[in-house]
Copies of this chain bind each other. A is one copy, B any other.
Amino acid sequence: MSLTTQGMSWQDVAATAQKHRDDTIAQVEPAVPDTPIDLPKNVTGLPSQLLPKEVVQITETTPETLLSQLSTGELTSTAVTTAFLQRAGLASKLVNCITELLPTRALARAKALDDYYATHNKPIGPLHGLPISVKEHISMRDLDLNAGFISWVGQKGTSDALILRLLWNAGAIFYARTTEPQTLMHLETSSNIFGVTVNPFNTSLTSGGSSGGEGALVGLRGSCLGIGTDIGGSIRSPAANQGVFGLRPSSYRLPLDGFAATMIGEEHIVPVVGPLSTSLEGIKVFMKVLIDQKPWLHDPMLVPFPWKPTGDLLRRDTAGKRKLRIGVLRDDDIVRPHPPILRGINTLVSKLSGHPDIEIVDFPAYKHDDAWRIISSLYFADGAAEEQEAIDASGEPWRPLSNLIIKENPNMKALSVTEVWRLTGERDVYRAAYTKHWNSIGTSLPGAGQEGELDVAAPLAKEMAMVDVILCPVGPGCAPPLDCARYWNYTSQWNLLDYPAVVFPTGLYCGAEDKADETYTPRNEKDRYNHELCEYFSFFIGVLGKKRRTDADHSDKPETYVDAPISLQLVGRRYEDEKLIEALELIMEVAKL
């Protein structure tokens, strides 16, 4: 039963939820340190100053190394869990990324695993003793399940979501639940329950969203592996904003059973669940452990196809030599990415160019505006009736980005079944056209815009020469200032197409070299909005843009983007998740990332 139905005001509900969060953080032993009164904008250096050395060491270790140390007994589950509980508590004090910690449950589980290890002298499973953080709307038995709505606070999960049961079976420990925005449909993380989750690299910027609690927590190394969800960029935006790895898998590979959200039963645009991690290996372990357990034996929506081992999935040329053809999509022709994003792409491309296994080709956008029209029409096909009801039931205010995607979304309206079918048909036509477009890049096959019957035999001959993966931005800039993440299309494009997409850090950060292009004339209103966000760069580097606002407007913004991580996105063909990861492994190896 929700708290508002018990007569509480929305403000009291929020206070209750926040007090509960604070209480759970206060339960952690040794106590989570308090934070300094004067915090720098970049708080990523604070944990190593404030936490014991052992805690810092454990929490800054990659998941694969931790798993190795846990499986050999070098580390106990209790030590690892205690370390992550402490660092997660501190992270929440710094960037507000936690809805509750679970010290009692987690330490009991850790002890049980340590006892198991002591008795059997072996790990219980491939995730033995590894703490995993979980986005709030993924059900845990007897714990709150609110999806960012005040009116849902107090509803409890009746059982653990299937994905958690599978991870648990493999030996995982759940110790932290993370924040999400009102409606789950922002590329930021702000709700009236917990407020705003900010970016640890620069707290004037957003952590991204909707899995922004995960992004901020993993970015601050309060977690090495966390679970997010994505229907328009919600795993990838926070992964990118914090410079960590994040995977949006192809649909129906991982189970969604037991999630709280609006629009349950909607299948025109399928949400997915996936990992965020401090390492690419963490992403792989997560996928493999889940799929190896044949989750389709419990969730019949899933495709029953095994996780392929990476290492030999890339193409071979006729001489047997490994080949990776990367299509580079710098710009979607609608909103031009900010200078640091283009710098990130160009830097990486120059590192890859000339490598004998890698070929770089341009990948032009194909009607990405049409993709946005279709997906943004289908998101809330009931006219957002469920979201309106869930928000208005408590009297809580609409957050700015809820307004953006619902009330200010020109494509949003209550559709009839006939209209849904028509749009779904348009989605399928667009998908087929994009496939034809992809097939045509760098080959002699006809593209989507060209006339002529498809010669179905030709692709078999030409398949060897097709683009394998697309390298592109994750968004039109690095993490933007709060409430400014208004452009979804660099991520939602791949949701519409159901292509797997992985986000990775370039090792670069926004800095003085990222100058705004003073001469640029925006193409349209969205581009103008994004370009004006560029003016912050002008401020930062001391150049006054033509259209710059008064100093007073930006008096607190001279360092708006400084230290924001520059991340990129690699996109694969549908259900080529494993090949996509192998391609990124090669890219990281060659570019020395």
Q: Give the interface of A toward B (CB within 8 A).
A: 159, 162, 165-166, 169, 257, 263-268, 293-294, 296-301, 303-305, 381-382, 385-386, 414-418, 420-425, 428, 431-432, 434-436, 439, 453-454, 456-457, 459-460, 463, 497-498, 573-576
Contacts and interface: CB of A to CB of B under 8 A. Distances in A.
Given A293-B460, A299-B432, A459-B297, A417 B453 contact: no
A300 B265 contact: no
B305 A382 contact: no
A285 B188 CA distance: 51
6 contacts: A165-B453, A264-B421, A265-B425, A300-B432, A300-B497, A382-B418
A366 to B, nearest CB: 13
A264 B425 contact: yes
A443 to B, nearest CB: 11
A427 to B, nearest CB: 8
Given A294-B459, A421-B264, A460-B294, A304 B576 contact: yes
A169 B428 contact: no
Contacts of A422: 265
Contacts of A497: 300
B418 A417 contact: no
Q: Pick the most buried of A166, A298, A305: most chain B CB atoms within 10 A of its CB.
A: A298
Given A257-B432, A265-B422, 17 more contacts: A159-B453, A165-B454, A165-B456, A169-B457, A265-B420, A265-B424, A267-B268, A294-B459, A299-B432, A300-B498, A300-B574, A303-B303, A303-B305, A305-B575, A382-B417, A382-B421, A417-B417
A264 B425 CA distance: 7
Nearest to A164: B456
A423 B298 contact: no
Contacts of A574: 296, 300, 304
Given A432-B298, A457-B169, A463-B294, A421 B266 contact: yes
A208 B453 CA distance: 35
B265 A456 contact: no
Given A166-B456, A415-B417, A417-B417, A435 B298 contact: yes
Nearest to A304: B575
A327 to B, nearest CB: 16
Contacts of A296: 574
Nearest to A170: B457
Given A300-B574, A304-B573, A435-B297, A381 B417 contact: yes
B417 A298 contact: no
Contacts of A263: 421
Nearest to A418: B382
Contacts of A436: 298
Given A298-B432, A456-B169, A459-B294, A303 B414 contact: no
A356 B81 CA distance: 52
Nearest to A445: B297
A375 to B, nearest CB: 15
A162 B418 CA distance: 25
A573 B299 CA distance: 12
A447 to B, nearest CB: 13
A301 B267 contact: no
A463 B267 contact: no
Contacts of A576: 304
A137 B71 CA distance: 59
Contact of A301 (B265, B304, B428): B428
A263 B425 CA distance: 10
B456 A298 contact: yes
A257 B457 CA distance: 17
B300 A456 contact: no
Given A418-B382, A420-B420, A459 B298 contact: yes
Nearest to A141: B453
Contacts of A498: 300
Nearest to A434: B300
A420 B421 contact: no
A305 to B, nearest CB: 6
Contacts of A169: 456-457
A497 B165 CA distance: 24
Nearest to A436: B298
A261 B497 CA distance: 24
A579 to B, nearest CB: 11
Contact of A435 (B300, B431, B435, B573): B300
Nearest to A456: B165
Contacts of A267: 267-268, 424
A530 to B, nearest CB: 29
